[in-house]
């Protein structure tokens, strides 16, 4: 995949492109990034790329000419062009997965008080990361790019992706690592039982509960199975179910050594 970013501030992407998973993905040649400075395409003698709003108003508007000339220089038949805009639908994990299958993505980063309306006619999609205001489109494009790149095959393990929040319509279950006891706050014993089926049920129950509490909007859309309903009933009754009790009893020798690390 190739990701091209049209921006007035390419230096903002330096740290983003040279750290963590994004850096490793590039090293594996799974993704390439291209930064295009919109200012390089202005025809103004002072390299100006903005002007006052026609008809009056506060702030400055990005001119269409440098933006569209920059776009023309990198666009091809395989390109999909996206513009960060409050008009766009809110970005989601589903959209990230969809975009991760594209051959070439081009992002246009707006700035100042907005971008000339005529630019919208040249983009394929508008996209938003939420109902709040940022100085420019650079931060949203970093966030969107990060979510897309990690879904490209080979960037991270498929198992890690499968268990993440939103992939199955629920929030991810709680994760722990050693020490077992931190100031009296301990890791649940069921995770030391060695019973993978019981651990899976426990984690599913936690995902259901966390989603119901923290993201009722997601929970209302999730279609509960018979087992899901039973798991929630177990949680609501505050009684340890037999499958969990059996797992804890049979896994006693594993649980006993839980504090060894």
Dist. CA 37–CA 41, nearest whole Å? 8
Handedness of CA 190, 193, 198, 200 (dihedral sign): positive
Report the candidate in 33, 31, 148, 23 with the shortest Cα–Cα distance to residue 97.
148
What's this model's pTM, rounded to 2 decimal places?
0.84
7-16, 90-99, 157-166, 228-237: range with lowest mean pLDDT:
157-166
Q: Is the pLDDT of residue 12 over 60?
A: yes
> What local confidence, expressed as pLDDT, does residue 261 receive?
59
Dist. CA 50–CA 42, nearest whole Å? 10
């Amino acid at each position: 995949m190739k990701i091209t970013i049209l921006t007035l501030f390419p230096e903002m992407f330096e740290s983003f492109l040279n750290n963590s998973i994004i850096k490793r993905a590039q090293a594996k040649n799974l993704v390439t990034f291209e930064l295009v400075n919109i200012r390089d395409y202005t025809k103004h003698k002072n390299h100006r790329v903005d002007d006052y709003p026609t008809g009056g108003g506060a702030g400055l508007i990005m001119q269409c000419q440098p933006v569209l000339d920059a776009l023309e220089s990198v666009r091809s038949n395989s390109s999909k062009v996206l513009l960060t805009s409050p008009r766009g639908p809110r970005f989601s994990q589903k959209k990230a997965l969809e975009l991760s299958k594209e051959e070439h993505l081009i992002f246009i980063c707006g700035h100042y008080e907005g971008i000339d309306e005529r630019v919208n006619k040249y983009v394929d999609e508008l996209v938003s990361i939420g109902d709040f205001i940022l100085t420019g489109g650079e931060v949203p494009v970093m966030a969107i790019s990060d979510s897309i790149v990690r879904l490209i095959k080979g960037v991270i393990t498929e198992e890690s992706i499968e268990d993440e929040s939103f992939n199955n319509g629920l929030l991810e279950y709680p994760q722990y690592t050693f020490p077992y006891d931190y100031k009296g706050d301990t890791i649940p014993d069921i995770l030391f039982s060695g019973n993978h089926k019981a651990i899976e049920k426990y984690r599913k129950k936690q995902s259901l509960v966390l989603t119901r509490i923290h993201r009722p909007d997601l929970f209302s859309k999730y279609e509960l199975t018979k087992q899901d309903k039973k798991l929630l009933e177990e949680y609501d009754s505050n009684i340890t179910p037999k499958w969990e009790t059996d797992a804890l009893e049979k896994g006693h020798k594993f649980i006993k050594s839980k504090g060894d690390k």
